[in-house]
């Protein structure tokens, strides 16, 4: 690991200013992704600003404004506390389930909520400094595009980058229309709809998201919804636990009689950003909530997919995963056993 200066602060303004004064500094929260990448010489900050002492850990109901009835989640709380919070488990069980599908207990204890959003979109070529990677070294080429790309994207990739965003938590958040609150170095605050936060690779795969240098995520807000009784997070992976998703699906439904009033479908393991399955959603609104329609919705979404050499299996797997997740959501969160 390259030498770096370690700084810490318990003041949000100071933290954001420190990253403006030194543009090669980075925030350190849980460190589960950043330190690993520093050990691999992929990330090379010359200063880490430890933000874990900032008072941004509360999870609280939103009592006024646009998202009234929703919940505000402090950016620096950890993933375990979020998944197990009583409000989240009761009203947003999809989020709890998605978080618990990710990583291991140890990592969830360390990883913060804001940090989860900012973990790098990545693949093995990004990690391997002897390989070309436009994300790590812009202009060097994409090793995965014509290399081994079994784990890679089927939606929204460019020839510059075919990596996928590895978060499970973010798949639930994009499905639940979350809003990200950030604060900049001059104290200015802005709200970013979750679906606009992460980026597709295009010509700038080195940028994973639309956060500016010096900006810090302070909170994540989820608006009120009626999905709690009918939601499910399905994760398909190579081993039963502690592995990245080949495909994951967050599904949430609100029904009126037999018909679908509102629906959310989002997918992980398929794109550079958490993928909102808009085609599937569009198809389902107003339809009867049954397997036949779920299959048609899955077809509608997956017909836009463009697989690479080794991940053609994700098309059929994706279809079946969408149907299964929606069926499970109709049954509540309870697992088939």
Identify whether the C-beta of residue 129 lies closer than 8 Å to the C-beta of residue 136.
Answer: yes
- Does position 293 interact with another protein (CB under 8 A)? The reply is no
Span from 15-23, 45-53, 290-298, 310-318 in contact with another protein (CB under 8 A): 45-53
Residue 95: CB minimum distance to another protein, A: 10
Residue 36: CB minimum distance to another protein, A: 5
Residue 100: alpha-carbon gap to chain centroid: 13
Distances, alpha carbon 290 to alpha carbons 45, 178, 249, 258, 278, in Å = 51, 27, 17, 8, 18
Residue 6: CB minimum distance to another protein, A: 4
Residue 189: CB minimum distance to another protein, A: 27
- Identify residues 316-335 at the interface with another protein (CB under 8 A): 333-335
32 or 149: CB nearest another protein? 32
Residue 235: CB minimum distance to another protein, A: 8
Instruction: Report which secondary-structure segment, H or E, holds 218.
Output: strand 216-222
Own/partner pairs for 261-264, CB < 8 Å, 24+ apart?
Answer: 261/285, 262/225, 262/226, 262/227, 263/326, 264/175, 264/176, 264/177, 264/227
Distances, alpha carbon 322 to alpha carbons 235, 260, 275, 294, 329, in Å = 11, 16, 13, 7, 10
Residue 135: alpha-carbon gap to chain centroid: 18
258 or 337: CB nearest another protein? 337
Instruction: Please give the Cα distance from 150 to 163 (Å, whole number).
Output: 10
Contact mark string toward another protein, 75..114, x via CB under 8 A: -----x--xx-x--xx--x--xx--xx-xxxxx-xx----
Phi, psi of 82 (to 5 degrees): -65, -50
96 or 160: CB nearest another protein? 96
Residue 307: CB minimum distance to another protein, A: 27
Residue 220: CB minimum distance to another protein, A: 19
- Identify residues 205-264 at the interface with another protein (CB under 8 A): 228, 235, 240-242
For the beta carbon of residue 45, count every other beta carbon within 10 angstroms.
19
6 or 64: CB nearest another protein? 6
Reported in sequence order, the residue ranges of 1-147 that DSSP labels E, i.e. its strands, are 5-8, 25-28, 47-50, 59-61, 71-74
Distances, alpha carbon 12 to alpha carbons 16, 51, 135, 246, in Å = 6, 8, 29, 37
Contact mark string toward another protein, 17..36, x via CB under 8 A: -----------x--xx--xx
Contact mark string toward another protein, 272..291, x via CB under 8 A: --------------------
DSSP conformational letter for 240: S
Contact residues for another protein (CB under 8 A)?
1, 3-6, 28, 31-32, 35-36, 39-40, 48, 50, 52, 80, 83-84, 86, 89-90, 93, 96-97, 100-101, 103-107, 109-110, 228, 235, 240-242, 333-335, 337
């Amino acid at each position: 690991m390259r030498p770096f200066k370690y700084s810490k602060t318990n003041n949000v303004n100071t933290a954001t200013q420190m990253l403006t004064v030194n543009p090669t500094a980075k925030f350190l929260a849980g460190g589960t992704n950043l330190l690993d990448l520093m050990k691999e010489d992929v990330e090379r900050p010359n200063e880490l600003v430890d933000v874990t002492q900032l008072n941004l850990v509360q999870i609280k109901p939103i009592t006024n404004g646009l998202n009234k009835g929703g919940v505000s989640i402090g950016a620096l709380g950890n993933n375990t506390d979020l998944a197990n919070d009583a409000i989240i488990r009761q009203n947003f069980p999809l989020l709890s389930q998605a978080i618990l599908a990710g990583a291991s207990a140890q990592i969830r204890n360390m990883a913060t909520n804001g940090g989860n959003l900012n973990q790098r979109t990545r693949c093995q070529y990004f990690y391997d400094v002897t390989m070309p990677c436009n994300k790590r070294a812009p202009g060097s080429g994409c090793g995965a595009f014509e290399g081994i790309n079994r784990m890679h994207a089927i939606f929204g990739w460019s020839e510059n980058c075919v990596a996928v965003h590895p978060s499970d938590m973010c798949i639930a958040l994009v499905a639940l229309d979350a809003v990200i609150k950030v604060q900049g170095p001059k104290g200015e605050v802005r709200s970013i709809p979750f679906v606009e936060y992460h980026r597709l690779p295009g010509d700038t795969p080195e940028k994973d998201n639309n956060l500016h240098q010096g900006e810090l995520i302070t909170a994540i807000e989820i608006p009120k919804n009626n999905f709690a009784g009918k939601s499910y997070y399905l994760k398909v992976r190579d081993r039963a636990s502690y592995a990245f998703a080949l495909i994951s699906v967050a599904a949430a439904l609100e029904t009126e009689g037999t018909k679908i009033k509102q629906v959310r479908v989002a997918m992980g393991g398929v794109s550079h950003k958490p993928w909102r399955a808009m085609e599937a959603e569009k198809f389902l609104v107003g339809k009867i909530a049954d397997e036949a329609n779920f299959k048609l919705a899955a077809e509608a979404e997956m017909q836009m997919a463009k697989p690479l050499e080794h991940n053609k299996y994700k098309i059929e797997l994706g279809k079946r995963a969408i149907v299964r997740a929606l069926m499970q959501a109709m049954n509540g969160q309870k697992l088939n056993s």
